[in-house]
Amino acid sequence: MKQEMYDLLNKQMNFETYSGYIYLDMSAYCASVGLDGFASWFEKQYQEELVHASKFSQFLLDSGYRPKYSNWEESPTGDYESLLELAQLSLAHEKVVTERIDYLLDIATELKDYPTINFLNWFITEQVEEEQTFNKLIDQIHIVKDAGLYLLDKDYGQRED
C-alpha cells in the first residue's frame, strides 16, 4: 500500500469515529426532549459508526500498517430544533461520508491498489443504505407529522378536570 493510501484510510478511520460522536450527540438530544425511541436508534447509529472505524483499523492492521488515532478539534455538539432537522443533518453528513468513500475508491483505483478497492466496495454498498435510511426517515416524518399532532391533540382534548 502506498503512503498516500495509508494516510487517507487512516484519516477516514478517524472520521468514522467522529461520525459516531455526531450520532451520540443526536441521541442525547432525543433523550433530552423525551424521544427515547429515537435516542436508542441514534445510539445504535453511533455504535455502527464505531464498527465502521474498526473495519478501517483492522484493514490497516491486516495490510501491515499501524492505525493512528487522532482527536477532532471541532465538537460534534449541535443545537437542534426537531427530529426532522436531525434527519436532514444526518442525511447531509452521510452524503459527505459517501463523497469521502468515493474519493478513497478513486485513489485506490488510480494506484491499482486492488485489496483496498475490494475493501472499499463494502462501504460503497453501506453508504447507499445509509442515505436510503435517512431519506426514508425524512419522508416518514413528513407523513406522520400532521397525523401525530392530530392524535396528540385528540388525546389531550379528552382531559377531564
> What CATH number is associated with residue 25?
1.20.1260.10
Residue-number span of the structural domain to which 48 is assigned: 3-68+80-157
Residue 120 lies in a domain: yes
Residue 146 in this model has a pLDDT that exceeds 70: no
Domain count, the chain: 1
Region 125-140: what's the mean pLDDT? 93
pTM over 0.85: yes
Q: Which long-range contacts (CB under 8 A, 24 or more apart) does 64-69 make?
A: 64/1, 65/1, 65/6, 65/10, 67/10, 67/13, 68/10, 69/13, 69/14, 69/17
Residue 87 lies in a domain: yes
Query: If pLDDT is split at 50, 70 and 90, which confidence band does 101 have?
Result: very high
As a whole number of angstroms, the distance between CA 18 and CA 1 comes to: 25
Residue 74 lies in a domain: no
What pLDDT, on a 0 to 100 scale, did the predictor assign at position 35? Answer: 85
Sequence-ordered list of residues with C-beta below 8 angstroms from that of 112, at least 6 positions apart, any chain: none
Residue 132 lies in a domain: yes
52-71 tens-digit pLDDT: 999 999 999 999 999 999 98
